[in-house]
Structure 1
């Protein structure tokens, strides 16, 4: 909204008169009659009135002019931000039908506090009891009519319920649609149909002074709720005034969809949201974590301070666009850039950090056919240094830029197109390939912007491109093929800090998924090093460790990333084999423990640290171990368990895993090669997985309860009954349920909340890969979130929501879409295009 003019001098007539009378005793001591009828008092009243008028007019001119100048250049009050929260909807018991939680469901606190509205539809599937949905502290205003267009420039409208909240990131906080008639939407432009009328969605821009490709734009003052369309301006040589952009045509209806509300009050604590304002029978709701991000409308005092700095943005990087423009302009080796705050991308990222991702430039001739390998080759260290220097000179104090190259996801298309008999197939094929290259290229070609960062590739886009070529009758098939996906998976972990994020090891490569295995991206690979183990560290966001076997030797190498796999460093090398390892946090330091063929080792994950041997048993200094696991809660003193080789049993340290503090826990005589931690409300258990030989059924899984500084006197107990899985390769838990990656029975399941429950083996038609009829390929790794299971085995990653039905989750060929992380770009490969005639028509 326009900045309100401040009242700089709040003295009124009465105060001025009182000040004048107070001077009389010192200046005119003989003047004693100060009654209202005295002629001198009358003169004082007259001059007080005149002075009051002068102060009102004159003393306000400088600040009023200052505010008006800020209004003139477009400085407005920042609108309120809506707090966001993840709501958990639950049923007391599983239902027999699918239950939909509609978008727009409202939830509030027990004492009628702020109202949160879901912005997505959520579903509780049959047999399940919970689901989650994102909600914002706002009201949804649906299809509010603003008025009709006149065809003239400068039209302005105000919504009924301002303020409109600050952009929440999903693009749905403010939508403005202008009526279009049948046949006018001849391209794939964003549109909404409401009450039988189609509305083309116009795009919000900061001002009309930028030459936008799409001229269907408007300017919004979200605080005031004002929507303004382009004004008309008469240019110096033009005879008539013309709008600076498109304006709504005469008689066209203008409709709005927006979110209003927001504010600091929306930052409610965990568990506060428990009342459904739109009741759904049998459904309860809560917020496990606190709502965050709410902020009140900007105050005038702050806007007056911010305004002058905003005018200097041409010389300083302030907005993301400033960072991107400077990054591209500062080096000829950069063609595009993307700038985001790291805190908006990664959990645990330090505040004040801006991540700037760059795409290298290539020549105009190379651009249409450039590959991922060619782009990587052109990632010049000098260009990075130049961008870093330029940003360091221009960015605000206390802001740090992290500059790197954007991730590239390589893919290609396999397409069959049918053309008319009169067409030259080779000529059509060449034109189609050129169309595809220019549309899908990450580089700006012929003045274009290049493929958008983070935008998924959909088959519908490919169809549009191909069908737009003259001579094409129809498109017979489109296959989207990702060039790099996980193959045989040896290790798999879920990141405990970043939602929907998983890592898997396949051959010499590490892949990451940021969308619950909907797509996988290659984040690192090492020549002649086989990835064997992965580990994350609770309490250290961003940390991921990889253990590799070097060539055909027993040497193991340890690689570390501190930023969720964006960058890597080698931190240790063992001349003997690392069987397994784990990582955790003590105080503010991340630490890793390694179970090796030559003893137990500890490594503080700080620069310059080296592995330290830990004496577990005085009689055997280099006692070999198969596995090691941190069994304490994050933030508590480290407690470490280790499984010895040669049937040597399990050891446990309650004292930070220091030498000489390990005590035997039993299990001697059992070939234990796997340790995992199980947490249930208020309790924790150490799980063991046993090895088996040949067709042996195996000893399966056992557990022992861990008390704060001792073990439970109940000792070890077998988990479930009727274990027939052979080797237990990996374990993961969701509450009381334990999921085991087995050598013979797929992913087997047991429930420790009930006594002696038999292990449930996977059905032969569950979807996991079979080695032969009725016999599964060994499952090597398994990991779980609250509602998703992933298994790693021969052929890739498989996913399940119930451990009963599994789907291939690392496929290479897609028919509908290929996902893309927010900061990545596609790098098209060599497309396979088949052009043929329609044989049925002769």
Structure 2
């Protein structure tokens, strides 16, 4: 049970008025009219009201006080997290190699509203591809070398060898070097032999080998962009195919040839996507790199930030020029220069284990404060220096750091388009997919709730609630988490993590909930230091059960049907949602089934709805984007699952 909040002064308005009236005979005996109509009494009541407001403020503990108290106990507010995305740099020219260095700055178009800066995190080089091999295969076997035919262009090559054309047949192109991160344009000469398909929706997919499997490489369709991913009509006419190779492209031996492979694989057909009746025929293929993709984050790089001069005393504190500070990498540290000798110091979370000669410092991500070790006096009268002290007159400098972050960086696809750093041969840049992962810094209100919970439970992960709390602390991008205890001895502890996503509920799809590798690493590393000996932890996501609601409503007289339908759709997407759903609005509960009575109730409360006539649920396959089974009035949810709204259908009459 928590301690009661101290009430420094419990006097209320009437107490203050009565106290003032009791003092009138002593201080002003000639004042005899104490009725409410008297102007003096009106002034007493006015000042009593003002005094009550002052007492109310006195009894409120300021946010700064809470913040400082939590800092004294070793708790810090979560800093902001930066949104990340892939930036594609488009080239204009035929250079053999075009380097795109780390630290390249790109901003969103700022003609209307505020612009946001993104900085590339790694180096990449766009290289001219060297095509060296071509194969066809029946599934994953029976490879046939067709490179000589394509290289000379004397005869046509059937991309998919079996007759009739069978899903799983592949056409391979092998390259001498890795094309990781490149935008590759294949120029294809073909004849219209692959009849039977819809040219804009052929049943084939382009993939690259990533070391552990084949992954899709395609150009997303963005509205307003002239560039088209495939102009060949499914390899049926002369044209180009534009592919975005992922940042990992590994070699593989196929048909006795070791190369970096890209393949076109025939997929299964459906009623609205007919297949090939004959295989496409290709005469010649050429490859060129017309762009490169680099990982970037919503941040600004600050270099050579001069902090000041050391006074040679313990516990010195200096401030960085900018804040908040994003998580540091190995190259971002503090340099101390004394007598022309420069030494790099090491950042630590605290000085508990720091010896007097350890060159350690603490760096507050929220405020940017850089602190050196204190001198602590112990009960026996001895004093110990925790961490070394920079020598007097030593120059202190931060090599570099990144500042920025926040939910504002979660910008949409095609919005990061303005180059601030000039690169030869680069004409334009864009983000083909939305930036994700940006989270605002923790509020004081949330820190006030989290601090006492952490104090009671300590820093060890023992119970299920401990694991859930520590996972939330490990990374600010965690939106929700559920811990599943092992069913049998030796089984891992399963953590089901839902990332915090700021996208509108109606636009959410399965890919939004994928956990970035660095997020999994940060959670795993944080828990590894706090789990009990012998336990193992498995970090993943819940199984997202797609669900579609079909509802029939009757609108009240005079209410526009389109407006009522839009309100009902918004209500459904908000209610059946992993992050904002449920009765409490903090995410659909684990283990909570979905039944028609709940949906009847929320739809009936929508403004403009007279009655709800019918509600049915359909399970939805989120991977294949199709409805499954028949309508039902209840959908059950597994212990490791959450509902995800998709493709709701609302009819208003």
Normalised by the length of structure 2, the TM-score is 0.42
Normalised by the length of structure 1, the TM-score is 0.33
Structure of greater relative contact order (alpha carbons < 8 Å, 6+ residues apart) = 2
